[in-house]
A and B are shown apart, each in its own frame.
Chain A
C-alpha cells in the first residue's frame, strides 16, 4: 500500500519526497524516482485521488495564446512594434493588428504606440520557437494613458483578480481606482493619489499572501483602514 508523505495544500519544495509506493501518480511539478514521487517545483500540493500535482508559487511568465497581457513598447519596427511582455520572450504587434483604422506603410507609427508606451494587448499566437504575436484589436484592448504600472508575480494573478473578478472589484469599490491586471503579472491602475497608494498596498498584500486562507477578509480590513480617513474627509 502506498503512503502519502505530504498533506493537501502543503507548501512543497524541489527534492521533497511526497509519496512512497507505486499507487500515487506524478503530474505537473512532480516526477517518479523508483518507488517515490518527488517534487520538482516550489508550490502548493494538490492531491486529486491518486494524482499528485503542484501549483507553482513563483516563476516567470510563459506566453500563452489567448492571454490578455500588458506590454511595453521597446522598439518600433518597419512592420509594427516590438513589446516587452514581462517574459523571457518579447512579442510583436504587427501593423494590421494595431488599429481598426488602416495604417499606411511608412506612416508615423509612434502616433499609435510610442516608445515606452504601455498597452493592453492579446496574445494571438505563440510558435514553438517562442515567437509571440499580439493584437490590440478587441474589447478592452487599448493603449494605457496615465496611471501607474507595477509588476507582480504572474502566478499570483488569479488571486489578484479573484473569483469572477471579485478581488479586483473589491479594490475598485474601496479606492475608486480603475484597475487592469495582465496575465503576465503587469498591473495598471489609476485613481486619486491616496487611493492609488491604498490599491498598491492591497495588491502587494495579495501577492505576498496569495496562497493563504482568509485572504479576502485581510485585504478588506487593510482597505478599510487605508481609506477610512479619506472617506471621512469626503463626508465632511
Chain B
C-alpha cells in the first residue's frame, strides 16, 4: 500500500458522513433527504398519476420520469442560472435508467411516476446523492421495487483507489482524478449507473467496481434503516 493520505483523513473505502431521512415533504406521495458530506439531495415522488401528453403513455406499465436540478446557489463557483441545462438533462436521464430496473409499475399502465430531485448544496457526487434520495423516496411512496438502489462514486486520486471523492479530491494531482459514478442493485450486485471521466486501464476499472461493492451495500443499509426510522418513530410515541 502507498502512503497516500486523503485530505479529509478518511480511509480509502470510507464514504463521507451520511444523513438520511424519509417523509420530509408533506405533500409528496414519498420523499427523502440524503446528505453525504456537504452534498445534499432532496427527492419528492408524485404518482403514479395521469400522464400527459397521451403519446408518452405506455399501455403496459407506468413510466418513471426524473428531474434533477441544482438550486442556483448549490454549485462550487458562481450562481447557476435556474432552469434545465444540458448537464441536468443528461443526469435526469441516467438517473431514470439507474432506478427503472428495480421498479415494477405494471399495476399502473398509462401513468407516470414523477421524481423531483433538488440539490440545495453540492460538493461532488451530486448525481449519486440524488439517486440515493430518489430510491428512498420511491420506497416511501409505496412503489413496488425489488430492491433499493444505492449509489456512490469511486475513483483514482493520484493513482490511489478511493470511494466517494469530495470536491478537493476531484482536482488533486496534475490531471483531474478519474471519477466513476456508480449505482447498484445490492441483492444481485448488478450495476445500473456507470459513467466515467478521466483515464484508467481495464484492470483499474474492474478493480474499482469490486472496491465499490461493499461500500454500496453499506449505503443501502443506511437507506433502508432511514425508511424504517420514520415508522418506528411512531412506535415510540
A contact set with B: CB distance below 8 Å: 11, 13-17, 29, 31, 33, 36, 38, 40-43, 56-60, 62, 88-90, 129-130, 155, 208-209, 211-212, 218
Contact = CB atoms under 8 A, between A and B. Distances in A.
A42 B224 CA distance: 10
A29 B143 CA distance: 10
A58 B140 contact: yes
A148 B193 CA distance: 46
Contact of A14 (B47, B109, B145): B145
Given A13-B148, A60-B48, A129-B109, 16 more contacts: A11-B232, A13-B227, A14-B146, A14-B224, A16-B224, A17-B187, A38-B146, A40-B145, A41-B143, A43-B142, A60-B49, A60-B141, A88-B47, A89-B50, A89-B111, A211-B231
Interface size class on chain B is 35 or more
A31 B146 contact: yes
Contacts of B232: 11
A88 B112 CA distance: 9
Interface string B172-211: 0000000000000011100000000000000000000000
A57 B232 CA distance: 12
A35 to B, nearest CB: 12
Given A59-B142, A88-B49, A15 B234 contact: no
Nearest to B231: A11
A29 B74 CA distance: 38
B237 interface: yes
B47 A42 contact: no
Contact of B141 (A43, A59, A62): A59
A36 B187 CA distance: 10
28 contacts: A11-B231, A13-B148, A13-B224, A14-B145, A15-B148, A15-B224, A29-B144, A31-B146, A33-B188, A38-B147, A40-B104, A40-B144, A41-B143, A43-B142, A56-B142, A58-B30, A58-B141, A60-B29, A60-B48, A62-B107, A88-B47, A88-B49, A89-B50, A90-B50, A129-B59, A130-B109, A208-B234, A212-B234
Contacts of B29: 58-60
Contact of B144 (A16, A41, A129): A41
Interface in B93-127: 102, 104, 107-111
Given A11-B228, A17-B187, A42 B140 contact: yes
Nearest to A209: B234
A14 B111 CA distance: 22
A66 to B, nearest CB: 18
Contacts of A208: 234
Contacts of A130: 109-110
A157 to B, nearest CB: 14
A57 B148 CA distance: 17
B139 interface: yes
B99 to A, nearest CB: 12
Please list the 3 inter-chain residue pairs (A to B) with the smallest Cβ-Cβ separation, ordered nearest first.
A59-B142, A58-B142, A15-B147
Contacts of B141: 58-60
A88 B187 contact: no
A38 B187 contact: yes
Interface string B33-67: 00000000000000111100000000100100000
B220 interface: yes
Given A15-B220, A57-B142, A58-B29, A88 B148 contact: no
